[in-house]
Chain A
Amino acid sequence: MGDGDHAAFEALYRRHSPMMYQAAFALLKDRQACSDLVQDIFIWLWEKREELSIHSVKPYLKTAVKFKVANQIRSGKIRESFFDELSRRNLESQGTVADEQLAVKQLKLLIQQAIDTLPPQSRKIFLLRREHNYTNKEIAAELGITVKAVEKQMTLSLKMIRKAMEPHLLEILLLTMTFPEMHG
């Protein structure tokens, strides 16, 4: 482990954690949840430091916060008043079109990173579902495998991913994917 890594990590933490904490707090309004969230992101960053190449750190970390917060919302771990506030919100774009495009691009980048960690076949299956809305049957036909194999592979790789990514930021991805046909 390089000591340079440690120093860089410290600097990164000191510089960006207040921004991340504040951004998460604005929605969650829960100090403990925000502390955990910032911790999770930095732990994940540390563990993945050799695999990640991040060009602009600040937007990246902010995007990570967005995903984490979305996961809190999804799993219902958010105060009830959030929903009331949201119902009264004006959801017109705040910033410029360019700002919004950039933010969306960052979100997509993080999603892509998670998809890239999938084994090739699972990735193919995932993309067929997402890009083309294929059913398991259609995926099976496209890849020349049985429906059972599609289901089995999905279950297996989801397990794998769950195990590999559990403590990490992108656990949110794919763990939460639902495959209606699979349970039917």
Chain B
Amino acid sequence: MTKEEILQLARKVTSGIATEEELALYNRIFDSFQTAPEHWDEELLGNQQQVIEEIHEGIVARMKAASIRRRFRLKMWTAAAAVIFLALVAGWYLWPVKQPVSNAVETVAGKEIPAPVSNSAVITLADGSKIYLDSIAQGKALKQGNITITGEGEGDIQYMGQDQQVSINTISVPRGSKPVSLGLADGTRVWVDAGSSLQFPTAFPGKEREVTVTGQVYLDVKGDPEKPFFVRNTIEGTRVEVLGTAFNLKAFSIAGTQVTLVSGAVNVRSGNELKPLQPGQQVEVNGSGHITLRPDINMEQVLGWKNGMFVFDGADIQTIMNELDRHYDIDVKYEAAINEKFVLRISRNVPLSEVLQGLAMTQLVHFKIEGRTIIVSR
């Protein structure tokens, strides 16, 4: 075969237009160069271990670079949001202003309230003893029966193993923490928001799987038709039956219970009512246990807490302050009723004053920061 012929053949193969005969021919050429199968010629190829390690290092470096690029893209996106935001601010300055914007957020005493920098959580074991997330050193395992608990890095805990003996553990994430991610022994992953807790069995030997939630969690349930998964909610007595799926459950006493389905299928049961959910839908269970379906919801707003964003798409001030309360661990006092709805999207990584500034910019609300107490007024 001539040089021209092989170049032509390689071009056809790589552009997906080679016929079967041509593919077979190329395959023969490739094979004809192969030596004894699986024999590593050290003289020619170098030390196998060394070569493989070197390539591996390259791969790890590129994977890291790719993940930094992804993070950077996210930052760029936040920057774009800021540009829009600034544009809005500029717009405000063009209007006659009643009061200087800088006074809209007043700091009376104390320092800046920063965004949470770490994940904290307490796991209460069946015997009542408590483990703190920071003490589960990264990669260091802890045994509970046949189940191993490991810290898998920042704010990430994994339960592994199988056990006939079931113990009930509770993980509580305090206000002012970043959300914590927990891998259950059955492969289900749960993100627990600040100010929330989850009660769960260490192993799942039985016919059903069940966990109990207070507050807000996001569940990515490992599908298993043999073992249905149920989520109970301590506040409303709502029960969610999961059919292999990812969804968000928000059940703070103040808000009623909201279940939002991201993918898969769930049935929400409250008393005698049963509502099947489609992806992208949300149901709200009110205090008297009645289920209301909301077919169109802003998923970004629902999942903001998990994605590091505050997304308020026409939210009232109480809803917003409750979110800020959990994230910054503050106390809120109202000196006036604010009935307007607010639109805001901002990173959860900024100090509280920046978020308040964003809201105050509308001149519909005014904030005073006294230590960790925020006073809301007109």
Chain A residues engaging chain B, CB cutoff 8 angstroms: 2-3, 13-14, 17-19, 21-23, 25-27, 31, 35, 38-39, 42-43, 46-47, 66-67, 69-71, 73-74, 76, 83, 85-87, 89-95, 100, 103-104, 107-108, 111, 114-115, 126, 129-130, 172-174, 176-178
Given known contacts A83-B6, A103-B27, A39 and B58 CB-to-CB distance under 8 angstroms: yes
Q: Is the interface of B mostly helix, strand, loop or mixed?
A: helix
* 10 extra A-B contacts, CB within 8 A, seeds A66-B30, A89-B32: A13-B59, A21-B51, A26-B33, A43-B63, A83-B3, A85-B33, A91-B28, A100-B27, A114-B16, A173-B14
The interface-forming segment of B18-26, B195-203, B284-292 is: B18-26
Question: In the complex, A27 Cα to B1 Cα: how many Å?
Answer: 15
Task: Judge if B13 is at the interface, Cβ distance under 8 Å.
Answer: yes
- Within residues 62 to 118 of chain B, which ones have a CB less than 8 A from any CB in chain A? 62-63, 66
Complex contact A35–B54 (CB within 8 A): yes
Most A Cβ at <10 Å: residue of B3, B54, B183: B3
Complex contact A173–B16 (CB within 8 A): yes
How many A-B pairs fall under 8 Å by CB? 138
Task: Judge if B17 is at the interface, Cβ distance under 8 Å.
Answer: yes
Complex contact B34–A23 (CB within 8 A): yes
Interface size on B, residues (CB 8 A): 47
- A-side contacts of B54, CB under 8 Å: 35
* Contact flags B33-54 to A (C-beta < 8 A → 1, else 0): 1110011100011101001101
Chain B residues engaging chain A, CB cutoff 8 angstroms: 1-3, 6-7, 10-11, 13-17, 20, 23-35, 38-40, 44-46, 48, 51-52, 54-56, 58-59, 62-63, 66, 152, 158, 183, 189
A-B contact pairs, 28 of them (CB 8 A): A2-B189, A13-B59, A17-B56, A22-B40, A22-B45, A26-B34, A39-B59, A43-B66, A47-B66, A66-B27, A66-B30, A73-B6, A73-B10, A74-B11, A86-B29, A89-B32, A91-B32, A93-B24, A93-B28, A94-B32, A95-B31, A100-B27, A103-B31, A104-B24, A114-B16, A172-B14, A176-B11, A178-B15
Question: In the complex, A86 Cα to B15 Cα: how many Å?
Answer: 22
- A-side contacts of B66, CB under 8 Å: 43, 47
Given known contacts A27-B33, A39-B55, A103-B27, A21 and B45 CB-to-CB distance under 8 angstroms: yes
Given known contacts A19-B38, A21-B55, A73-B10, A89 and B1 CB-to-CB distance under 8 angstroms: yes
Complex contact A91–B1 (CB within 8 A): yes
Question: In the complex, A106 Cα to B35 Cα: how many Å?
Answer: 21
Least Cβ–Cβ distance between B377 and chain A, in angstroms = 45
Question: In the complex, A55 Cα to B132 Cα: how many Å?
Answer: 42
- B-side contacts of A126, CB under 8 Å: 16
- B-side contacts of A69, CB under 8 Å: 30
